[in-house]
Amino acid sequence: MNKKIEPSKIAYDILHKNENLSRRDALKIMGLTGGAAMMMGAPISAEASVSTDKKAKIVIVGGGAGGIMAMARLKSAVPNGEIILIAPNEIHLYQPGQVFMAAGLLTESDIQKSNSDFIPNDVTWIKDEVTAFDPDNNKVMTQKNGDVSYDFLVVATGLEYHYEGIEGMSADLVGKHGISSVYLNDPVAGTAKGGVVTYEWFKEVRKAAEAASPEKPIEVICTQPDTPIKCGGAPQKILYLSDDYLRGNGPEGGSDVSKNASFSFCKKGTTLFGIPEYNKTLVDEVTPMYGNIEDKWNHVLRKIDPENKIATFEHTYQTKGEYDADLEEYDMIDHTETVELKYDFIHVVPPMRPVKAVAESLLGWQKGNAKGWLACDQNTLQHIKYKNVFGIGDILGIPKGKTGGSARHHGPILVENLVSVLEGKEPKAQFDGYTVCPLKTEYGKIMLAEFNYDGLAPSFPVLDPSRPRWMWWAFDLYMLKPMYWYLMMRGLM
């Protein structure tokens, strides 16, 4: 069964030619009113029309999705304010598109756009990097432009990929020795090497499988680290799409050679997804559907030998100890061992960490699993100590929310609460932990995993959210990118 997918440019072209459309008109043109916003979660429980006539100097650090969305909304909400954006990147990357690049359905140029398209002339854009934060004195230090003071600060720095956290691994190895990593990009340069390389990796895996056999299959490993990561479903997206590519369902088609490959998915824990309803579908239906995937629980990649193609994992497990008659259960004994796995191809998801400037400042959490991440209240997104500091996006040290859909929900919460503080009031808008992961289970199908702090949180409960559907694939591939460029990045959605 071949399902050749060619991305439509219709919705993109319509919006590109009508950049001054209102939010309602744009959604009408796309035919998505009442449903389109679902891909990024709707509705948002903050007052969209909140505004103040007060003056304030607001500095936003970061020019990715979170920073640009915050800037657009604050520009409208605080019209008398002085808005300063500190961001070095001339190019803006639509990072969710990197998985579609890996699948051969988008190119690097498809996910690039000039940041100047989103930044109005009356916003001061300092094209620089912040090297340190001094919240006690309400200022940040930049690499080339000295100190910049503020009345309010919005931290939108994103996170860092830490490939070197795996012994023997580096970003330079991506694309060599059978190693790929769809995440790899350079936000400052505006390049997305990971998407380009991983598409070539798909093709190389298929070529090797065509020369192999069920008796001697190629060995493919996909990994997930034990740190917080951007878009937690992406490691599985590559697992399923690369396997489906072997079944001939990629853009080039072809015969089914998936029986000539053996896949291992290595991660911490013993579930594929933290929400039971989504996990059940993945464990009971998606993985068995492929028939060649083995989930290696509690296997975390610690070392790689590229020349010899050996991956070394830390494997943790438990065994039964003595029986406790009072508790009527066995004591469980923890064990850790080192496991070496040979591979022909490996997709590496790097450990991720907060950017250095935040982690080493007074703004980061000081201890625990969230150490270094921005120390914000998980509901108001206001810093726990510095009340004139707010955060948005991946840098937040909160339980959930490292997705673009979450950042979209952070935006109006942040703005309403910042305006409240500016007017001398307590922040009341609440972020509920909303996170959305369009989990690609095969070419042409997505399970739209939506959840919040309380668990399952489908925008349209009438549809079983645990079912992979073509309609979510169509929204994600055809509509989400123009919505991102022309609605989200302009504060209209």
* Catalytic residue annotation: 231, 437
CA-to-CA distance for 476 and 492, rounded, in angstroms?
18
Select from 375, 400, 394 the least CA-distant residue to 159. Answer: 394
Residue type, 337: E
- Strand, coil or helix: what is 412? helix
Residue type, 191: T
Helix (H) or strand (E) holding 468: none
* 34 DSSP assignment: T
Helix 404-422 and helix 65-77, axial crossing angle in degrees, nearest 10? 30
Q: Which two tokens stand for residue 191?
A: 């390049």
CA-to-CA distance for 91 and 189, rounded, in angstroms?
7
Distance, C-alpha 440 to centroid of its chain: 14
Residue type, 7: P
CA-to-CA distance for 348 and 181, rounded, in angstroms?
5
Enumerate residues 6+ apart whose C-beta is below 8 A from 56.
78, 81, 82, 151, 152, 422
Please work out, in degrees rounded to the nearest 5, the angle formed at the alpha carbon of residue 140 by the alpha carbons of 139 and 146: 105
Select from 468, 485, 465 the least CA-distant residue to 38. Answer: 465
Enumerate residues 6+ apart whose C-beta is below 8 A from 427.
380, 382, 416, 417, 418, 420, 421
Phi then psi dihedrals of residue 470, to 5 deg = -65, -35
Q: How many CB atoms lie within 10 A of CB 422?
A: 19
CA-to-CA distance for 184 and 410, rounded, in angstroms?
25
CA-to-CA distance for 422 and 150, rounded, in angstroms?
13
Q: With beta carbons less than 8 A apart as the criterion, state whether 374 and 155 touch.
A: yes
Q: Which two tokens stand for residue 358?
A: 């935040």
Residues in the chain: 493
